[in-house]
Amino acid sequence: MCVATADKRPRSIPVVQVLRTTALTNACADHSDQRVVYLEHVVVRISISHPRRGDLQIHLISPSGTKSQLLAKRGKLKEWSLILYGTAEHPYRTFSSHQSRSRMLELSVPEQEPLKAEGPPPQAETPEEEEEYTGVCHPECGDKGCDGPSADQCLNCVHFSLGNSKTNRKCVSECPLGYFGDTAARRCRRCHKGCETCTGRSPTQCLSCRRGFYHHQETNTCVTLCPAGLYADESQRLCLRCHPSCQKCVDEPEKCTVCKEGFSLARGSCIPDCEPGTYFDSELIRCGECHHTCRTCVGPSREECIHCAKSFHFQDWKCVPACGEGFYPEEMPGLPHKVCRRCDENCLSCEGSSRNCSRCKAGFTQLGTSCITNHTCSNADETFCEMVKSNRLCERKLFIQFCCRTCLLAG
């Protein structure tokens, strides 16, 4: 569509004269998708303020000279005739000078004297007698008959009347979707907005819903969003109840998004908040007892502890009364129990730290809190041993392989 620039200059139309204006356009030649090659249809928008609308005429003349009339001059009443018959008095009365000089047409009919007709009385027109339909009525027509063979020509209905005088009322055996049958009035009445089928006009009398609505079966209403505790079933267009533990859910009853009080959300399910010393049994759907060594757990066995009971330590996924050989107990921030940590590889047992050995494994000798190898060195001279001792390399466990025992025995 090519739109020309509007001429918004205000101009006046002289009385009994013509105002001409010319519109020039390049036919949108600068825009290939709007360029006009052949002129077929022109729309002109004109804003005119004029006291005598009927005197206006508007014409559109094309470049080739074709003249099209957009607005024609309105016609005038040139002659008006009044013909009176049978007047008994003079029809005009002149008012006194102090009242008015205008003349008034007055038609009076004496009560005693009937009107006298100058010409012959017109013959009374007898209405044509309507032709009565005598054919077979539609099966839905009632006992009052019909004016024709179709369902919209019945005078009354056997079952229900659908529509009104504006929409061509007709008789039907059952009401269509969106209507319900009023048996007392034998009429199809419209359901409440959103209802596809219903038993009455009330919003709580819906049986099924239109597209875009869901049927709330507990209230018999049609809603666009299902309330909390129910989810929208797209296939049935119903609001169905969530699992009792769910406050909100989607797609299916047990696909919870929010849980009720006393439940926690775990992988789309709401599980009970079990007391300490118990766990949730998903098969029995109840809380079960933990092993006596567990404070909290995920199952009944001793290998399923999360936190240990009082006076127990956590080692290898179990709660034990004391750490095993080669382990020592250590406090862990945030945990109510100690965790068993492994001692240094040369220690048989240790206390407080992995390097604080209390007993050594076979083949090692205890030097302070460290366990050093038992073999002797042939190349450990006095200077070397002095360096080892002065730097306390054996105690620092940096070079325990450098003849610690040999230097120790050498004094």
Dihedral sign from CA coordinates of 396, 398, 401, 406: negative
Quick check: do 137-190 and 280-342 share a fold? yes
Which residues of the chain carry a pLDDT beneath 70? 1, 15-17, 27, 32-34, 37-41, 51, 53, 64-65, 75-130, 374-382, 388-389, 392-411
pTM of the model: 0.41
Q: What are phi and psi of 134, to 5 degrees?
A: -120, 10
The whole-number pLDDT of residue 404 equals 66
The whole-number pLDDT of residue 100 equals 45
Q: How far apart are CA 401 and CA 381, in angstroms?
A: 15
First to last CA, the chain: 111
> Going along 134-260, which residue ranges are E strands?
160-162, 170-172, 179-182, 187-190, 195-198, 206-209, 214-216, 221-223, 230-233, 238-241, 246-249, 256-259
The whole-number pLDDT of residue 386 equals 73
Whether the CB-CB separation of 172 and 163 falls below 8 Å is answered with no
The whole-number pLDDT of residue 399 equals 47
Class of domain 280-342: mainly beta
The whole-number pLDDT of residue 13 equals 76
Write the pLDDT tens digit of every residue in 130-179.
678 888 999 999 999 998 999 999 999 999 999 887 778 899 999 999 99
Q: What are phi and psi of 342, to 5 degrees?
A: -80, 140
The whole-number pLDDT of residue 273 equals 85
Place of tokens 């127990």: 312
Cα–Cα nearest to 327, from 354, 360, 302:
354
Whether the CB-CB separation of 128 and 143 falls below 8 Å is answered with no
The whole-number pLDDT of residue 15 equals 65
The whole-number pLDDT of residue 410 equals 58
The whole-number pLDDT of residue 102 equals 45
> What does the domain layout of the chain look like in residue ranges?
137-190, 280-342, 357-409
Query: Residue 86's CB: how many other CB atoms inside 10 A?
Result: 11
Q: How far apart are CA 36 and CA 63, in angstroms?
A: 14
Dihedral sign from CA coordinates of 34, 37, 39, 41: negative
CATH number (2.102.10.10, 2.40.50.140, 3.40.50.150, 2.10.220.10) of 137-190 reads 2.10.220.10
Q: How far apart are CA 125 and CA 96, in angstroms?
A: 45
